[in-house]
Amino acid sequence: MDALRAFLDMLEWGAGGAADQAEDDDTVRPNEFTAAAVLQACGLARDGRLGRMVHGYLVAGGFCGDPFVVGSLVNMYAKVGDAASARRLVLGLPCRDVVSWTAIISGCVLNGMLEEALGVFVMMLEDGVLPNNVTMLSVIQACSLMGASELFGPVHALVVLLELEDDASVVNSLIMMYAKNGFVEEAMRLFNGAYLKSGNLCSNEDVLAAILYGCTISGYQKNGEGIHAHLIKMDAFPSIGIENSLMGMYARFEQVDAVHLVFSGMEAKDIVSWNTIISCLAKSDHVNEAMELFSVLHAGGGGLAPDFVTILSIVQACSNAGLLHQGQMLHGCIMKSGFIYDVSICNALISMYAKLGRIDFAKMIFERMDTKDLVSWNSMITAYGMHGDGRSALRIFNQLKDAGTPVPNAITFVSVISACSHAGLISEGYKCFESMRMEHGIEPSMDHYACVVDLLGRSGRFAEAEEFIRDMPVPPNSSIWGPLLAACQLHGNVDLAEKAANELSALEPESDIWRVSLANTYALAGRWKDAAMIRTEMRRAGLRKETGWSFVDVGGVEGFKFVSADTRHQEAEKIYSVWHTMNKHMADLAADVHKPGPISTV
């Protein structure tokens, strides 16, 4: 803005000093170079209003016959996003060149007017003006940002036609265009030709980051490893950002050792580096290592402090691994560091405590939140549903409706109907389902239909469940037949279980889940031969049930990992004695909860 102030001072000086200066003294009068500088300042400041005022002064002063000034005006209008004015100026020029057209195209891209940029580019070609490398950089960027994959080939061909394939900037832009949009093979062909085959080092961080991003989103691990090998061979890692991108790629492919390798080899690490490895370890069941690294970071060992992403990763790690004691200590750190006022972290804590059996803590956090988003409400409804407290889930749901904002969404209804299902609140759950479309304008998805099937099936209302499935406006898939089969196993309905299993066999012929469920249904009904036959077929087909395991936090001191029918623990006999007592108690409660009763469809 200093240039604009100087320009205004010049005008004031010229007006005020006219009496003291000769009439032909032009020392304080602006010329075409002054105009260009002022217009450039308006463009950089994105001040279209001031730019138009300067334009008006230039018209009055007779400057607009100068092509240099007109070019500066085109640049200014393009930068402030007024492509129409820029285009009018260009079309008014007696001789339109590549510079004026490129100014409009670049300005449109700069302001996110991508379709407009390509439209101007077509006008330029129709005007008989050939683009240069600067033009093509803007056009390639516009195509990339739009994700207009149908234009990638023609634009690439035009680059070759214009003999710009040796221009490093243009080639790099093409590589980034392909990579960022998931066309990794095309990007790698260009990258190989420009760098790998010639033995040149690619030090352009944007290009490397784009390829690694493309490999990550498209599943091209081998190509990503090739980039890593290229960097190792050249003994050059341009920045922490590239190393972080490598870690992110390996984390996406669950290559924990590779993430460790990159992290340990970094000379300098930022918070993204720490967050990437902590998140990777937490998601890969290396929870103890994740906690150790978090402790190092929290103690200042990395010269940094945990941020929002770090905290969220560790909360989710404690939740997934069943680490209540560590989760409570983390909660204390969150309160001390001020992250307790972050809505997303509070939501994660609600889910963690619900999953770890402390619904009272989840309720406390929810009630103390000054600001709640829809995830907060949904998390609390889900929490009560997990604990079989359907009444409380409905109470929170009704509070959400009464609050007015935020409004329930599709996830809300999955949570509340599921909560009703687990609590045996059949009529209430069905009313919630019907209110979706009637009161909230939400079209039920397959997840909602599956919840209703589960709702009816758990209570043994198989006739109503079958009728509901027949009346569905969409063909039932495995998410419908799966809950029905599970309900048949619960209630010993072998005939319907066989029907559901037949449907699932057509939908998921390679799955072992429905086979195991049907075998268990046969076993519970005393049909041992049928159960054995299914398990024999599974063995012949090479299918085997993957062993599930559980993790128990023992007194906040140690964790114990075990599988079904595990007898490795030294006190296994006592454990099973307690378990059988608890199991009988839960079975008695379940029998009371799921007693049939009238269902209202009002």
**Tens digit of pLDDT for each residue in 320-372?**
888 899 999 999 999 999 999 999 999 999 999 999 999 999 999 999 999 99
Is residue 602 very low, low, confident or very high in pLDDT (cuts 50, 70, 90)? very low
Averaged confidence pLDDT in the chain: 85
Count CB neighbours of 466 within 10 A. Answer: 17
CA distance 107 to 116: 10
Position 25 pLDDT exceeds 80: no
Tokens 């249904």, residue located: 521
Is the distance from CB of 45 to CB of 1 less than 8 angstroms? yes
Query: What's the mean pLDDT in 272-282?
Result: 94
* Residue 393 pLDDT grade (very low, low, confident, very high; cuts 50, 70, 90): very high
Q: Give the pair of three-digit tokens for residue 50.
A: 């001031």
Cβ proximity of 276 and 247 under 8 Å: yes
- How far is the C-alpha of 73 from the C-alpha of 58, rounded, in Å? 10
Mean pLDDT within 31-47: 75
Question: pLDDT tens, 421-475?
Answer: 999 999 999 999 999 999 999 999 999 999 999 999 999 999 999 999 999 999 9
pLDDT in tens, 46-81: 777 777 787 777 777 776 666 667 777 777 877 787
Which of helix, strand or coil describes residue 182? coil
Q: At what angle do helices 133-146 and 168-180 cross, to 10 degrees?
A: 10
- 169-196 average pLDDT score: 91
* Position 598 pLDDT exceeds 50: no
What pLDDT sits at residue 595? 55
- CB-count exposure of residue 145 (10 Å: 0-12, 13-18, 19+): middle
Q: Is the pLDDT of residue 560 over 80?
A: no
Asked whether residue 557 carries a pLDDT value surpassing 80, the answer given is no
Q: Which amino acid is at 438?
A: M
CA dihedral for 249, 251, 253, 255, sign (positive or negative): positive
Q: Is the pLDDT of residue 491 over 70?
A: yes
How far apart are the C-alpha atoms of 48 and 45, rounded to whole Å? 9
For residue 336, what pLDDT is reported? 92
CA 390 from centre of chain: 31
Q: How confident is the model at residue 85 (pLDDT cuts 50, 70, 90)?
A: confident
| Model confidence band, residue 578 (pLDDT cutoffs 50, 70, 90) | confident
- Number of Cβ within a 10 Å radius of residue 332: 10
Given a cut of 70, whether residue 12 has pLDDT beyond it is no
What pLDDT shows up at residue 8? 55
Q: State the sign of the Cα–Cα–Cα–Cα dihedral 186, 190, 196, 201.
A: negative
Q: Is the predicted pLDDT of residue 16 greater than 50, yes or no?
A: no
> What is residue 589's predicted lDDT score, i.e. its pLDDT?
74
The phi and psi torsions of 268 (rounded to 5 degrees) equal -135, 145
C-alpha angle with apex 519: 514 to 520, nearest 5 degrees? Answer: 100
The reported pLDDT for the residue numbered 438 is 93
Write the burial class of residue 550 (CB in 10 Å: 0-12 exposed, 13-18 middle, 19+ buried). Answer: exposed
Q: What is the mean pLDDT of residues 89-100?
A: 75
Which region holds residue 163: left if phi is over 0, alpha if psi is between -120 and 50, else beta?
left
User: pLDDT category, 543, cuts 50, 70, 90?
Assistant: low
Q: The tokens of 513 are what?
A: 């889940």
